Amino acid sequence: MSEAPPRESHARSWRGLGGGFVAKLLLMMLVNAAGIAAILSAHAAQAWVILGVLVAGLVVADWIYFSKRAVPLKYLFPGLVFLAVFQMFTLLYTGYVAFTNYGTGHLGSMQQAVDAALIQDERPVEDSPQYPLSVVRDGDLLGFAITDDADTVQVGTAEDPLAEVDGATIGDNGSPSAVPGWEVVPRAELFTDTDLQQRVVELRVPISDDAEDGSLRTREGSTGGVYTSRLVWDPAEQTITNTETGVVYSPSDRGSFVSPDGDRLAAGWYVSVGFDNFVRAFTDATYAGPLLKVTGWTFAFAILTVLTSFGLGLLFALIYNDQRVRGRKVLRTLFILPYAFPAFMSALLWRGMLNSEFGVINEWFFLGSDIGWLSDPWLAKIAILWVNLWLSYPYWFLVTTGALQALPADVMEAARVDGAGRWRQFRSITLPMLLVSTAPLAIASFAFNFNNFTIIYMLTGGGPAFSGSSTPMGSTDILISAIYQISGVSGGRADYGLASALSIVVFIVIGVISALAFRRTRKLEEM
């Protein structure tokens, strides 16, 4: 029996592999390419922990998808990766930040703090000539082109110091009008584009490779001068010296440069501070009092919202579950309309309606009275509870309607035969059986409203502010919106460390309450 030629045997072996293997091979090539690129980026940033995780993850991925034994992991691994990236990493990073002083004045590394301190202290050099200047760009990269005393054109960027270029053209006003390799930004665009103006004002172009020579800056985009800093950085001693006063600033264990008399430079870097953020949240007079009020209101808001929305939804469900009511389908549809609107749009709508000056609530229902629904602390709380009731009762209307229709009819019939009245049937049979199915949903609703950022932010913005307090928190802030204010995302001083610490506290509180509530739910099922 003759053997197949080698070429034909080789072709059959490749066909035997199938298209699935080829697709898997191509996919893993892309995964490895992306993984290696991420590893190189982590190595360049000296992020050794991330680098180790990336290497381990790539090795495990290759082993799983090229092994014939790890079949279940082939399906589980993508989900585990997404879980680690989008949930575990967020939780772990939040925990890490909670133990640091990361925030305004403490951003980045020590070297970045040094650079920021030197830049912040820059002053114009006395008798510095004012060079005719043009703003140039190459894509998103901005630079300065100047005409020096020798009528030659020099170009530089924030990363590259000024250097002479050949072939440039000088305009009638003395500033460069054309620069090879660069686009000269028209003056008209500088006057109309505010973002571009901000970037130009903040741009600093080094005069030379020596940082002590200063940098070129401009205020209006047509002339530039030399600026230098009074501060000098000594990398060997890791100190900053003010050359005018002779004061030496040394690094502290709190991420700041501090002088012997306690004066501190504004620019700092983030360091580990242990449990200081947790302690500060409960002991610092600036935060402890307002946070205590915010915490009490958070629990009250979440509990009252669940109770009122559940009660109103159940009331409507009982009414429109009665077959004697005509047009039940139409009425049910009308009652669930608030649930169909986006919450943020509804909150904005109610914010306008509750406006004390031109809102329809005061105009139509209170004879044009000037009632500060959103400016008075207690009225603002009532407004939030009312609007959230309007938004959330349709959910419970739908849930309890379905639960009522699922109740066994024979139990209710037996109760009626035994002489139980409507109230007795509701209290002893209907409500307990409803709670068995709706209690887990009530727990989830409590957890949701405990962190209901949308209604607070869109309706009141957390205001009105606490009287006599310097914190960014307000009377209607709940913990999640207070964390948002403390983080400085909306403007002001940012304190990411404290915000992260409070986020962990909220996470623990919700977890403990949910665990206790679910245990109680299991007892209801047993009953």
- Condensed to tens digits (0 to 9), the pLDDT of residues 333-368 reads 888 888 888 898 999 999 999 999 889 999 999 988
Q: How far is CA 420 from its chain centroid?
A: 55
- Give the tens place of pLDDT for each residue, 439-452: 889 999 999 999 99
Instruction: Report H helices in 84-208.
Output: 89-98, 110-120, 187-192, 194-202
Q: Using the 8-state DSSP alphabet, how is residue 497 labeled?
A: H
Position 1 confidence tier, pLDDT thresholds 50, 70, 90: very low
Mean pLDDT of 381-388: 96
In terms of Cα–Cα distance, which of 255, 286, 252, 256 is closest to 271? 255
Mean pLDDT of 284-288: 89
Under a CB-based contact definition with an 8 Å cutoff, are residues 154 and 148 in contact?
yes
- Give the tens place of pLDDT for each residue, 479-503: 999 999 999 887 778 999 999 999 9
- Give the tens place of pLDDT for each residue, 209-229: 887 788 999 988 999 999 998
In terms of Cα–Cα distance, which of 206, 211, 216 is closest to 232? 211
Q: What's the confidence (pLDDT) of residue 527?
A: 54
Q: How far is CA 158 from its chain centroid?
A: 29
Counting every residue written for the chain, the total comes to 527
b/e 185-219 (16+ beta carbons within 10 angstroms → b): beeeebeeeeebbeebeebbbbbeeebeebbbbbe
Checking if the pLDDT of 44 tops 90, the result is no
* Residue 101 phi, psi (nearest 5): -100, 30
In the three-class reduction of DSSP (H, G, I as helix; E, B as strand; rest coil), residue 239 is classed as strand
CATH of 126-229, one of 2.40.430, 3.30.420, 1.10.3470, 1.10.3210: 2.40.430
Helix (H) or strand (E) holding 465: none
Hey, what are 102's tokens? 């990361």
Checking if the pLDDT of 207 tops 80, the result is yes
Q: Domain-by-domain residue ranges, the chain?
A: 17-77, 126-229, 281-526
**CA Rg value for the chain:** 34
Under a CB-based contact definition with an 8 Å cutoff, are residues 386 and 394 in contact?
no
Position 304 confidence tier, pLDDT thresholds 50, 70, 90: very high
On average, the pLDDT of the chain sits at: 89
Say how far apart CA 214 and CA 496 lie, in whole Å.
Answer: 33
Position 20 confidence tier, pLDDT thresholds 50, 70, 90: confident
Checking if the pLDDT of 5 tops 80, the result is no
Mean pLDDT of 267-292: 93
The residue type of 222 is: S
Checking if the pLDDT of 243 tops 70, the result is yes
In the three-class reduction of DSSP (H, G, I as helix; E, B as strand; rest coil), residue 294 is classed as helix
Q: What's the confidence (pLDDT) of residue 397?
A: 95
CA torsion 129→133→137→140, rounded to 10°? 60
In the three-class reduction of DSSP (H, G, I as helix; E, B as strand; rest coil), residue 182 is classed as strand
- Top-level class of domain 281-526: mainly alpha
Q: Look at the alpha carbons of 354, 359, 363, 369 in this order and tell me if their dihedral is positive or negative.
A: positive
Checking if the pLDDT of 422 tops 90, the result is no
Under a CB-based contact definition with an 8 Å cutoff, are residues 346 and 456 in contact?
no
Say how far apart CA 197 and CA 11 lie, in whole Å.
Answer: 65
Position 85 confidence tier, pLDDT thresholds 50, 70, 90: confident
In terms of Cα–Cα distance, which of 108, 109, 100, 105 is closest to 504? 100
389 contacts: CB under 8 Å, gap ≥ 6? 305, 308, 309, 312
Say how far apart CA 54 and CA 50 lie, in whole Å.
Answer: 6
Give the CA distances from residue 191 to residues 133, 143, 204, in Å, rounded to whole numbers and listed in that order.
15, 17, 20
In terms of Cα–Cα distance, which of 224, 57, 76 is closest to 148? 224
Q: What's the confidence (pLDDT) of residue 17?
A: 53
Checking if the pLDDT of 14 tops 50, the result is no
Position 516 confidence tier, pLDDT thresholds 50, 70, 90: confident
